[in-house]
Structure 1
């Protein structure tokens, strides 16, 4: 019998070896079940194999210190999305605690005992975040919010027995204030009803009787309020004058007599200041630094303030002694971006996340007593030697009105000779700013395709003062597009860059910019990629989620005003789509609450009438940008193929591949 089985097995192997293989399946990679593609050619398996190592970068970010141990929660990815992990000591094992299909974020330990933490999570990128409690002892997860509305993750009381957060549950538009004891979900109660979608609790007073709250009206204007945590009664802390003032954050001093705040009051830049609550006296603490203070944290004993300045796109860490207002010496950190500043309750360890061009995001701590830095995570880099990766070069050019615009240029590997093709990648916001950091997958373009990457910070970008920030508002919208026109002129003067091979791309507002550049300068680019971008300002403003609609009207203009509506229609790429004469790739998430899917479908349908190649990629389980690795990977494969076909190929009449 054994002989018969052996002979049968041999016959089966022989038969299957003679059967024709499905060559198309073996040679290509199909999109997963949540991706909808139109116009995208089959992705060769060989391409996937070539780029694979560049898809295996990981990163880690600090979420929360444990209140009684020298341990922390971090966020990192080993599967399809980032999950919450615990790390018990520097470079210790990353123990995964959550295993969700959607990424959890914002995890913070209960601040006195640390026997549970609270985190947020949405579904499919819809940003209707819900809050949950994770019990350390059992791993049980408990929903704390209503399961339907949009909720902020909130801030802990000083006693650690309550959290204050915002929710749109009342009407879907206003972010009302709520208070909850996470250990007792039925304790949830409405503290105060507010008007608008820009309310954010910042900090509880030392006695937990008052709550500091930010009212965000625009990037240039915001207010600070104090709410009684029992009655919900509120009183204003700030008064807007003739010149709008923006506040970027605030915390109570240890004695409760004042606030440390970030503000551009009386300055072009966001400064760190002290506001005395009794006298309303306002004292600048960083007037000597001509750059924005972008983040800060007060030590638990109130003796030290750690803060980060954004200096021409690079993060610089500072330490201030609150009693003397003197700066303290610090060790030099690598040039890059610093986020997630957080003091441990021991008042010595300052945690932070650091990212640079040659290092993916990882978690570190700085002991301010010894001035020593310890690394807590060392994320994988796909087996690539990141020490050889391109460093950013700060470049500047003059725009149409002689204003100086800047950006960061990454040059390709030196083994590529001759003039190099260029990808211009425009940030979102529009009040965002490109900050030099780790490029991840984009390093493939530099190292393997020989493409230069240029990230401009056009007018309207943050980080360069509030005057610069306002230069694209309302009727000035297309002046930022002209900044890219001036950049095209500058590229033409550079001996190492090829002005005849330029592709423009961007996400969100950067997606609008890439479409706008394709309408204004179609004869000067090879192709464009629009990622979750605005194609029609009027339909965007009418359909973006109600909790953010008024905030966007301040930036772009109110479409309900007939004159502004006419202007917005005039400049919208959708109404100028006949000018787009070069290949276009449009990428969008079906659940996008910020820029609804309609913005993508309408531009795809319209540009296709120009008889040029139009590729479309829609993810049914994503929102404002792709977050799941399998979707991000396919987007990357398709983008590489798009560049190979339309940026790197020889010239043709329409920029298409011969």
Structure 2
């Protein structure tokens, strides 16, 4: 536990000093501007490093010879590495200042593609590079946003989607991945369109158009003529179609969908008729991921069972079960992919005491799980880490709301601890029991119980649950947190007088909204790049995502919905916030722009509320660089500890 000399600085944070001084104290630390943030004690820095020096592995792709591409961090950012075999050395392949992701091996070559943006601006560029080094080729035009990179089975064709500044529409482009000069526009789409698969003969692409996070429509694009044919059955009834791909020689599509079901299932769909044939068995849980071997014979998929992943392997032709992988950590799947020869299945998992690694399951007769990577937890002892407990509490209308609870180790069972309520973003995301260094850190360092609720509107609990917070019902999810505060008050080992709210992105909105409703029951709040005013957010978020967000949140151009936004926007209820707040933002954020944080900080201070503000000049939506994340955690530590010490 940290025991710094806080006596002097606590006086400045006492109940008598809620009024914000007129002068804002500003200083610069690296790329960050800190406002009203005191110097960080040395022991806080030491504690933060214990939890920030872990490394995790994200599986990216198999290489043709049986090696793997992964991303991991050996400096400030995630870069691409090659792993030749189980537990062999990681060979770094990219060396950028910015983090990279989405690496894919180019079939029949010794090269791969990957994507990178600048300063978190999300204007992603796609590059190709050889495994042995040499020239890195930029395949995309500067100043554009490029995503959904899809390679053909022979490696000769790359298809992707491109957005331009100020436009809500994506174009579909194609190129030889080894020749940037071959880039061409195949089709100028309408809305958020992107390729999902390429036919075996390289003549057609399966295109998905995202209407919202609850609805997808599928089309087939002729790559020669540029003609598009919408699959009428995908538009007939709104549903999600995730990871669609051609099967049966292009006569059918395999996809995860909630069409005709409250949960997402893996189904095979006849392209001509739209007839759906379930592939996964009936379940109360969503299918979250799948892969099919290149020869089309073996299928692997995973269920999201109350947040935990369970992998299933079956014969795709006969539908019979095959030997199943056992011995994996109980946690959350991050990747599932067959090797090119179909002999092995890569399974990447993160868990409460595992930052993220890759195992393989042998399908060639020997069976069994083999670990490929061994990521470091830095100076952490896994035995001291908290195991999240799954609980449920009843909300205002009787709805059962799940939450994961991290309770500090070594604390007496009846000892009342402070509480941090950490609300996820999305809003369609789901808090799951994977590696969560923040929850572990706060539990250990602050002695706090961290509660991560999956309020209504969260993914993973069926379509009906997902839709319970749509449009004018937005604040029902805020009332879920009110019910959680009631639940906290009934627990003998939680201190209802020391509860802080915490969130990022949509969770940042939730943090602000909870503060407007329940300030008298909280000691303060932390929000990172949160929505403070629904109308200004929808008007200022980047054009390429605006319609998608309107479909989820509501359209501010409709008078009735605009009136709801006027009523529920935290900025319009800012006088109800009476407790200290910490606000953090990336200056390059295209999703929730800096103006959302600037205006809430301005109005909080105008009302005399103690407000700290941290602005990172080289980050976007989420902080990707280790020095920035270190500083973020240091500031949070000092802020939250002061809140809890006051009481």
> Is it true that 1:644 corresponds to 2:641 in the alignment?
yes
> Structure 2 residue aligned with 1:623, among 617, 620, 625?
620
Q: Deviations over 1:514-533 (max 9, x none)?
A: 00000000011111001110
1:131–1:153 Cα contact (<8 Å) kept:
no
Secondary structure in 2 matching 1:550: helix
Secondary structure in 2 matching 1:570: helix
Distance (whole Å) between structure 2 residues aligned to residue 387 and residue 44 of structure 1: 27
Aligned length: 618
> Structure 2 residue aligned with 1:520, among 517, 522, 529?
517
Distance (whole Å) between structure 2 residues aligned to residue 597 and residue 146 of structure 1: 26
Cα distance change on mapping 1:282 and 1:153 into 2, 3 Å: closer
> Structure 1 residue aligned with 2:363, among 364, 368, 374?
368
> Is it true that 1:303 corresponds to 2:300 in the alignment?
no
Secondary structure in 2 matching 1:500: strand
> Is it true that 1:146 corresponds to 2:141 in the alignment?
yes
Quote how far apart the aligned CAs of 1:650 are: 3.6
Matches within 5 A, 1:45-60: 45-60=42-57
> Is it true that 1:85 corresponds to 2:81 in the alignment?
yes
Cα distance change on mapping 1:253 and 1:587 into 2, 3 Å: same
What is the aligned partner in structure 2 of residue 474 from structure 1?
Answer: 471
What is the aligned partner in structure 1 of residue 287 from structure 2?
Answer: 293
- TM-score (normalised: structure 1): 0.92
What is the aligned partner in structure 2 of residue 432 from structure 1?
Answer: 429
1:60–1:75 Cα contact (<8 Å) kept:
yes
> Structure 2 residue aligned with 1:72, among 68, 73, 85?
68
Distance (whole Å) between structure 1 residues aligned to residue 119 and residue 587 of structure 2: 9
> Is it true that 1:128 corresponds to 2:123 in the alignment?
yes
Distance (whole Å) between structure 2 residues aligned to residue 319 and residue 483 of structure 1: 38
Quote how far apart the aligned CAs of 1:159 are: 1.7
Secondary structure in 2 matching 1:639: helix
Distance (whole Å) between structure 2 residues aligned to residue 170 and residue 431 of structure 1: 26
What is the aligned partner in structure 1 of residue 595 from structure 2?
Answer: 598
1:106–1:153 Cα contact (<8 Å) kept:
no
What is the aligned partner in structure 1 of residue 190 from structure 2?
Answer: 195
> Structure 1 residue aligned with 2:349, among 349, 354, 369?
354
Distance (whole Å) between structure 2 residues aligned to residue 567 and residue 489 of structure 1: 26
1:206–1:254 Cα contact (<8 Å) kept:
no
What is the aligned partner in structure 2 of residue 582 from structure 1?
Answer: 579
> Structure 1 residue aligned with 2:251, among 257, 267, 276?
257
Distance (whole Å) between structure 2 residues aligned to residue 124 and residue 650 of structure 1: 37
2:165–2:543 Cα contact (<8 Å) kept:
no
Quote how far apart the aligned CAs of 1:205 are: 1.4
Q: Deviations over 1:582-639 (max 9, x none)?
A: 1100010000000000000100010112322111000000000111000000000011
Cα distance change on mapping 1:611 and 1:187 into 2, 3 Å: same
Matches within 5 A, 1:396-407: 396-407=392-403
What is the aligned partner in structure 1 of residue 377 from structure 2?
Answer: 381
Q: Deviations over 1:255-278 (max 9, x none)?
A: 333211111111001100011234
Q: Deviations over 1:89-113 (max 9, x none)?
A: 1111111111111011111111122
Quote how far apart the aligned CAs of 1:163 are: 0.7
> Structure 2 residue aligned with 1:280, among 260, 274, 277?
274
Quote how far apart the aligned CAs of 1:304 are: 1.0
Secondary structure in 2 matching 1:395: strand
Matches within 5 A, 1:536-575: 536-575=533-572
Cα distance change on mapping 1:171 and 1:645 into 2, 3 Å: closer
Secondary structure in 1 matching 2:34: strand
Quote how far apart the aligned CAs of 1:33 are: 2.6
Quote how far apart the aligned CAs of 1:216 are: 0.9
> Is it true that 1:107 corresponds to 2:85 in the alignment?
no
Distance (whole Å) between structure 2 residues aligned to residue 186 and residue 303 of structure 1: 37
Q: Which runs of 5+ in 1 are unaligned?
A: 1-29, 652-658
> Structure 1 residue aligned with 2:607, among 605, 610, 613?
610
CA RMSD of aligned residues (A): 1.5
Quote how far apart the aligned CAs of 1:448 are: 2.9
What is the aligned partner in structure 2 of residue 164 from structure 1?
Answer: 159
What is the aligned partner in structure 2 of residue 210 from structure 1?
Answer: 204
Cα distance change on mapping 1:305 and 1:109 into 2, 3 Å: same
Distance (whole Å) between structure 1 residues aligned to residue 166 and residue 617 of structure 2: 26
Matches within 5 A, 1:490-529: 490-529=487-526
2:148–2:196 Cα contact (<8 Å) kept:
no
Q: Deviations over 1:13-35 (max 9, x none)?
A: xxxxxxxxxxxxxxxxx853310
> Structure 1 residue aligned with 2:485, among 473, 484, 488?
488
Distance (whole Å) between structure 1 residues aligned to residue 293 and residue 488 of structure 2: 47
Quote how far apart the aligned CAs of 1:311 are: 0.8
2:55–2:355 Cα contact (<8 Å) kept:
yes
1:263–1:272 Cα contact (<8 Å) kept:
yes
Quote how far apart the aligned CAs of 1:353 are: 1.5
Quote how far apart the aligned CAs of 1:331 are: 2.7
Distance (whole Å) between structure 1 residues aligned to residue 164 and residue 238 of structure 2: 30
What is the aligned partner in structure 1 of residue 460 from structure 2?
Answer: 463
> Is it true that 1:442 corresponds to 2:436 in the alignment?
no
Distance (whole Å) between structure 2 residues aligned to residue 364 and residue 354 of structure 1: 8
